[in-house]
Amino acid sequence: MKEKKMKSPTKKKADKPRCGLCGKTKNLIKTECCGNWICDDEHKYVMFSYARNSCSRNHRRYTLCGYHYNEGHKGDWKTCKKCRSDFEPEMVVWYGTNEYNFEKMPDPPSFTPTKCSKCGQVIVLGNGGYAHGPDGYTCGECFAKDNRRK
Ligand SMILES: [Zn+2]
Ligand SMILES: [Zn+2]
Ligand SMILES: [Zn+2]
Ligand SMILES: [Zn+2]
């Protein structure tokens, strides 16, 4: 039997795994959805705080990659038609291009910005802090004003 000579790769820099989102090198796990290194920090999340301080939670909850995997879609999330039809275009763009992604959607759909039905202010859906009712979207300020009046 011929002995295969294993060429040891001569990598100069030590390829330490790093969280693909924040760059930390400690307590990493691989994401189930895309196999990238990410902080194993889900425990840091305080229930119902809606804080976005956990890399793994952010990626799982706020990206199409995580959604696509959780929903059991086939193929690549970047070209998945289901993902695109499950959200309004603005959210598809946000989920597909925000900072919680390892890879950004190469061809995000175009969308018209959402505006407050009361004051006309542009509402960034991805940032939260708005209300959605029968009249459409209401910005946080108008919503608060309305509730005070009642
Ligand atoms: Zn991280
Ligand atoms: Zn992923
Ligand atoms: Zn999908
Ligand atoms: Zn408003």
pLDDT tens profile 77-128: 999 999 999 999 999 999 999 999 999 999 999 999 999 999 999 999 988 8
Residues near ligand 1 ion, CB 5 Å cutoff: 19, 21-22, 24, 39, 55
Question: Does the residue 140 lie in any domain?
Answer: yes
Grouping H, G, I as helix, E, B as strand and the rest as coil, residue 150 is coil
Residue 133 lies in a domain: yes
76 and 135 share one domain: no
Residue 34 and residue 21 in contact, taking contact as beta carbons nearer than 8 Å: no
Question: Which among 70, 59, 72, 64 has a CA at the least distance from the CA of 106?
Answer: 64
Both tokens of 9, joined, read 């790769």
- Model confidence, pTM: 0.79
Q: Do 32 and 85 sit in the same domain of this protein?
A: yes
C-alpha–C-alpha distance, residues 36 and 15, integer Å: 14
Cα-to-centroid distance, 127 and ligand 4 (Å): 15
In a domain, 135, yes or no: yes
Query: Residue 146 corresponds to which tokens in the numbers above?
Result: 């309305």
What residues make up the domain containing 127? 114-149
Do residues 56 and 83 lie in contact, with contact meaning Cβ atoms separated by under 8 Å? no
- Cα separation, 92 vs 113, in Å, equals 13
Query: Same domain, yes or no, for 59 and 118?
Result: no
Asked whether residue 104 is domain-assigned, the answer is no
How many domains, the chain?
A: 2
Co-location of 93 and 32 in the same domain: yes
| Same domain for 87 and 124 | no
For residue 33, how far is the Cα from the chain centroid?
12
Residue 18 lies in a domain: no
Ligand nearest to the CA of 79: 3
Q: Which residues surround ligand 4, an ion (CB under 5 A)?
A: 116, 118-119, 121, 139, 142
Say whether both 60 and 120 belong to one domain.
no
Same domain (yes/no): 36, 90: yes
Give how far Cα 81 sits from Cα of 55, 86, 88, Å: 26, 9, 12
pLDDT digits (tens, 9 = 90+) for 48-77: 676 788 999 999 999 999 999 999 999 999
How far, in Å, CA of 102 to CA of 56, rounded? 11
In this structure, the number of other CB atoms found within 10 A of the CB of residue 129 comes to: 11
**Which residues share a beta bridge with 37?**
30
Over residues 4-56, the pLDDT tens digits come to 666 655 555 667 899 999 999 999 999 999 999 999 988 776 666 767 889 99
Q: What's the confidence (pLDDT) of residue 66? A: 98
